[in-house]
Amino acid sequence: MRPMLATHTETVPCGPEWAHEVKWDGMRVLADARGGGLTLTSRTERDVTSSFPELVPLADLFDDMLLDGEVVALVDGRPSFGALAERMHIADPRRAARAAVARPVTFVVFDVLRLLGQDLTAQPWSARRALLEQLELEGPRWQVPATHDDGEQLLAATAEQGLEGIVSKRRTAPYLPDRRSPDWLKRPHRDTVSVVVGGWRPETGSARLGSVLVGQPGPQGWEFVGRVGSGLAGRAGAGLLTRLRPLERADSPFVTPVPREDATGTTWVDPQVVIDVASLGRSSGGRLRQPSYQRLRADLTATDLEGSDG
């Protein structure tokens, strides 16, 4: 099963039919507890159980339970995706155990999809939420955060606290696996989108990565949406270049024309690596305005971007 996804909104919905939650800057995970064992599955259906051994005791709470939530790494009380990225791909049990002590994660639980053999996805959000609260899942490495009635007030509070934003959920909505639904609306504080990398350019006079050419899915294929250089200095750029070098190809992967000033000196790559980019929106020509690199999205594939809004 893949999780239900939220649709982007600029306007926070109001009224008694909506509930509002903090949007966490973490890794979406389904936690499946069965018969004393636990399986953690990412949004891309990758088994990440071995990466987070501190969450395995969740299996002791109930014999059969499926939870939806986000794994977050807290730094000074705030979620840090950068800190979490260091944990995502640790597969070796000994390394993972050491990392769990040095930088433990927290599983933020916001939905229950199955309990003791009963599929709850057809139930309205309000019923699932009431059951989730009754389960008393508070523990050393997992928690059930509060929900709020006033979305605008929560949006202001999360901005003040430096959090990512909010998610608003219609109380009557069922859970729709692998669907991006208008019954869940996300309102981040920054305009951040997930894009695929289709090429890279070196720094002037250097072999180091200076910028990347990025795209988003369109009706005919990957459409070029801009060149991103800000945020790629140092380790960020070096790490991204390591991912891109094995993907080199002879021609552009974009179906839309790439301006000469962007294409010149570009090494084209197969569109497989996904990154998050913050920008000031789009220009009239559809280009990202003043884009800056935020992070590598190792939890997403290019296929995940197709048919979504990022």
Taking only the tens place, the pLDDT of each residue in 129-184 is 999 999 999 899 999 999 999 999 999 999 888 888 999 999 999 999 999 899 99
- One domain for residues 43 and 122: yes
Specify the number of domains making up the chain.
2
- One domain for residues 33 and 106: yes
Backbone angles phi, psi at 60, to 5 degrees: -80, -10
**CATH code of residue 270:** 2.40.50.140
The residue among 188, 219, 235 that closes a domain is: 188
- One domain for residues 26 and 143: yes
* CA 113 to mean position of chain CA atoms: 20
Q: Nearest CA to 111 among 144, 148, 68?
A: 68
pLDDT score recorded for residue 79: 87
Does pLDDT of 237 surpass 50? yes
Residue 237 placed within a domain: yes
Residue 310 placed within a domain: no
Read off the pLDDT of each residue in 34-48 and give the average, rounded to a whole number. 92
pLDDT score recorded for residue 12: 96
- One domain for residues 113 and 214: no
- One domain for residues 219 and 264: yes
- One domain for residues 176 and 37: yes
**CATH code of residue 12:** 3.30.470.30
The residue among 188, 205, 237 that closes a domain is: 188
pLDDT score recorded for residue 128: 98
Amino acid at 153: Q
Read off the pLDDT of each residue in 42-66 and give the average, rounded to a whole number. 94
Read off the pLDDT of each residue in 89-106 and give the average, rounded to a whole number. 92
- One domain for residues 153 and 73: yes
- One domain for residues 206 and 144: no
| Residue % of the chain over a pLDDT of 70 | 98
- One domain for residues 184 and 211: no
pLDDT score recorded for residue 30: 98
- Say what angle helices 81-88 and 93-102 make with each other, to 10 degrees: 160
Element (H, E) at 38: strand 37-42
Q: What's the CA gap between 76 and 162, in Å, rounded? A: 11
Distances (CA, A) of 216 to 196, 241, 272, 287, 308: 6, 20, 12, 11, 10
Residue 146 placed within a domain: yes
Close Cβ partners of 217 (under 8 Å, ≥ 6 residues apart): 223, 305, 306, 307
Confidence of residue 309 (pLDDT cuts 50, 70, 90): very low
Lowest mean pLDDT, pick from 52-66, 76-90, 188-202: 76-90
Close Cβ partners of 136 (under 8 Å, ≥ 6 residues apart): none
Q: Which two tokens stand for residue 198?
A: 């289709």
276 SS3 class? strand
List pLDDT tens digits, range 218-230.
999 999 999 999 8
The residue among 188, 206, 222 that closes a domain is: 188
Residue 220 placed within a domain: yes
pLDDT score recorded for residue 244: 97
279 SS3 class? coil
Q: Looking at the annotation, which residues are catalytic?
A: 23
pLDDT score recorded for residue 307: 56
Q: Which two tokens stand for residue 303?
A: 């296929």
- One domain for residues 14 and 148: yes
Residue 151 placed within a domain: yes
Residue 236 placed within a domain: yes
- One domain for residues 230 and 180: no
- One domain for residues 129 and 206: no
Q: What's the CA gap between 12 and 307, in Å, rounded? A: 23
Note whether 278 and 22 are within 8 A (CB).
no
Range of the domain at 277: 192-305
Lowest mean pLDDT, pick from 30-44, 74-88, 115-129, 238-252: 74-88
Residue 30 placed within a domain: yes
pLDDT score recorded for residue 310: 43
Residue 61 placed within a domain: yes
Q: What's the CA gap between 25 and 4, in Å, rounded? A: 17
**What's the predicted TM-score (pTM) here?**
0.72
